[in-house]
A and B are shown apart, each in its own frame.
Chain A
Amino acid sequence: MSATVPAPARRTVEDGAPLLAVEDLRVHFRTERGTVHAVNGISFDIRPGETLGIVGESGCGKSVSSLAIMGLLAANGRVASGRALFDGRDLLPLRDSELRRIRGREIAMIFQDPMTSLNPVMTIGSQIREALQTHFGMERKPADTRATELLDQVGIPSARARLKDYPHQFSGGMRQRAMIAIALACEPRLLIADEPTTALDVTIQAQILELLRALVTDRGTALMLITHDLGVVAGMCERVNVMYGGTIVETGAAEQLFGRPRHPYTLGLLQSVPRLDEARGAKLRPIEGAPRDQLQEPRACPFQPRCRYEVDQSRQELPPLVEIEPGHHVACFNPVPADEWSRSRAVLP
């Protein structure tokens, strides 16, 4: 029935205007133990052709916020407030039928485990064709040709023959490539990649990251890269949001965040990972404690119980995200001195 619906004409985004602008997004989940406040009022935007990194640890809300934007929350989840303006249009109130025209077509998503997002009883070829037929009403023949092209572009050898394979006949890295081929089928303007390389070995990860990098430079696709891996973010992203306890605690250009981290959590993350390119022997400085459950609406800094820099105010109110230098925002009442990270590294043996 949707075959006759013409693809919506693409409007070009004005120079500098964000492609996606998320404002005050809040997501709650109803659970047996109470309401989990998974995302607590986050705002960010992403411009066309930009790579935005979202880092944080398990449960910080990084995946949930992207699922909410795409209308893919689990049944017990609900968007409590906020807007997600894609090209000026709010996605959050849209009905599923309207969202379906945007998902895949305008915004595509790839996940950590390609095996759970690929249909095990459909061939790779038919899964790519499905996207083309659904969104463009393409005939089988041209869709087949296009599918071959796509597999070829993501670096799968003998692409034509591989169209007839089922997902289990592909290795992990090839499955992730096939997922990327499906995501690219409709030439989306925004690609959300949620831990796309976490399940892969580093040498395969390097191949996939190279592919994503080429995609952004060649096609100008905006990329939202969600990951816990600081190294991946450093190599891929221009801007980075650091999340903790359902809030953005720090955001800025990659050079700012990794060079002059101002939030104690960002600093803590950088101090907890051993680096290959530095002398051995220094003791790691872990962040003590563990994240708290989010059964209550945050009324104080979510990081305060684990923080070395807490002040009285941290226990009394939620710190707002304020600009500390151009383009660099931090949500902290007692930000880390700008040179703390470089000084703490200089004293290493």
Chain B
Amino acid sequence: MTATEPVPVDLSPDGGPLVEVEDLKVWFPIRSGIVLDRHVGDVKAVDGVSLTIRRGETLGLVGESGCGKSTVGRALLRLYEPTAGRIVVNGRDITTLPEKELRPLRRTMQMIFQDPYASLNPRHSVGRLIGEPMRVHGVASRREVDGRVRELLERVGLPRDAVSRYPHEFSGGQRQRIGIARAVALNPDFIVADEPVSALDVSIQAQIINLMESLQDEFELTYLFIAHDLAVVRHISDRIAVMYLGSIVELSPADELYTGPLHPYTISLLSAIPIPDPVVERARRPLLLAGDLPSPANPPSGCRFHTRCPFVQPTRCRDERPELRTLSSGHSVACHWAEEVRAGTIRPHAQEPIFEPGPQPEPYLPPPV
């Protein structure tokens, strides 16, 4: 490389845990009736998630809509109240910390949202949007705030005169830069980025991803990067957790996920993502999944993926919930048959691309002659 050698940043895997989550559950009650307001069930958005985020790393969290990935992110910041489980940030258990004691800690934990327009007050100037958190947390005097805001704007690639302008005057990519500037304004340790580039055009996505990467080095940030686009997540993350219907089904080093996925859901997901190359793409066949995501209010018994799994087996899958277990260094999976799937002794069966895993008709057998 040339003169601009990047400053080495300690990204050693044993940087120690910054965030530890144990058996996190976030259930949303379903209520029925106007007068009686009975509690008739729960939407089990997150149902037993355990994970560790190391200092300085980016943990990617992927899954399809409704899998609970955003709920995990918000619960970590106590934007949702956890139903059960434990959240430890920086060695401190924040699971049940009262809001008053939590507030000073919020300085160290920030969030970047998908839709920067919806998360920026349209009546506040950019200067106020970015400066307000600094004043609220008392990290800078009024005079210092102005200078710091200008510095941040320049750092995230916005013009200096942006200070006095309003969110509607900016394009989607620029608004996301404002959201990012606001998130790093307090010098946080930990940032939850919830689909930060999904609403942006591809040429702009790359700008924002590069910006987030360089800010991570500069401010020594730890990211939880939540997105549905596995190619983007794989690019930015050190490790990736794949979620399905409220729980983590696979946790893998980013480099291994594409080459050696272990969980049948991950395998199907990867096979379904189109690759922008007609030569590669024409040689691939997606492993189609049957049906839609089941309702998290009434999740299937046993392995939650068994209703759609192309590798489903007659035993265990339907009645025994698989635990996340480590198969090789740093790579865990929640599947009873992961070894057999990996070894190729269990093959996917062909599935009709239907939408509801209803009862299948008996195969027609010709009568014996």
Interface residues of A (CB under 8 A from B): 57-58, 155-158, 171, 173-174, 177, 201-207, 209-211, 228-235, 254-255, 258-259, 268-277, 280, 283-288, 290
- Contact (Cβ within 8 A) A177 B279: no
Q: Is the CB of B355 within 8 A of A157?
A: yes
Known: A173-B355, A201-B293, A203-B289. 13 other contacts (CB 8 A): A158-B356, A171-B355, A203-B268, A209-B274, A211-B353, A228-B201, A235-B275, A274-B209, A274-B232, A275-B277, A276-B273, A284-B206, A286-B206
B residues near A, CB below 8 A?
64-65, 171, 173-174, 201-207, 209-210, 213, 228, 230-232, 234-235, 254-255, 258, 268-282, 284, 286, 288-289, 292-293, 352-356, 358
Q: Whole-angstrom distance between the alpha carbons of A259 and B240 in the complex?
A: 30
Chain B residues in 8 Å Cβ range of A288: 207
B352 in contact with A255 (CB, 8 Å): no
Given A158-B358, A202-B269, A206-B272, A235-B206 contact (CB < 8 Å): no
| Chain B residue, CB-CB nearest to A284 | B206
Lowest 8 CB-CB distances: which A-B pairs, in order?
A231-B274, A286-B206, A274-B235, A272-B206, A230-B276, A201-B64, A287-B203, A206-B272
**B278 — which chain A residues lie within 8 A by C-beta?**
234-235, 254-255, 258-259
Query: Contact between B277 and A201 (Cβ–Cβ < 8 Å)?
Result: no
Chain B residues whose CB sits within 8 angstroms of the CB of A203 once the complex forms: 64, 268-269, 272, 288-289
Bound-complex Cα distance A174 to B355 (A): 7
Which residue from chain A places its CB closest to the CB of B271 in the assembled complex?
A: A206
Interface of chain B: mostly helix, strand, loop or mixed: helix
9 contacts across the A-B interface (CB closer than 8 A): A57-B201, A157-B354, A202-B273, A205-B272, A235-B274, A235-B275, A273-B202, A273-B206, A280-B234
Tell me whether B210 and A283 are in contact (CB under 8 A): yes
Query: Does the CB pair A284–B235 fall under 8 Å?
Result: yes
Chain B residues within an 8 Å CB radius of A209: 274
A-B CB contacts (within 8 Å), total count: 148
Closest to A57 in B: B201
CA of A253 to CA of B195 in the docked complex: distance in angstroms? 33
Most chain-B Cβ atoms within 10 A of its Cβ — which of A173, A202, A271, A285? A202
Contact between A269 and B203, CB atoms less than 8 A apart: yes
Nearest B residue to A197 via CB reads: B274
* CB closest chain-A residue, reference B236: A274
Residue from A255, A274, A290 within 8 A of B279 (CB atoms):
A255
A42 CB, nearest partner CB in chain B, Å = 20
Give the chain A neighbours of B353 by CB distance below 8 A. 155, 207, 210-211
Contacting residue for B276 out of A157, A171, A273, A287, CB 8 A: A273
A259 touches B272 (CB 8 A): no
**The residue from A211, A231, A259, A268 contacting B273, defined by CB atoms under 8 A apart:** A231
Find chain A residues with CB under 8 A from B280 CB.
Answer: 234, 277
Q: Which residues does chain A contribute within 8 Å of B173, judged by CB atoms?
A: 290
Chain B residue contacts of A229, Cβ below 8 A: 274
Q: How far is the CB of A213 from chain B (nearest CB, A)?
A: 11
Contact call A155/B352, Cβ cutoff below 8 A: yes
Task: Chain A residues near B235: list those with CB within 8 A.
Answer: 274, 280, 284
> What is the minimal beta-carbon distance from B222 to any residue of chain A, in angstroms?
19
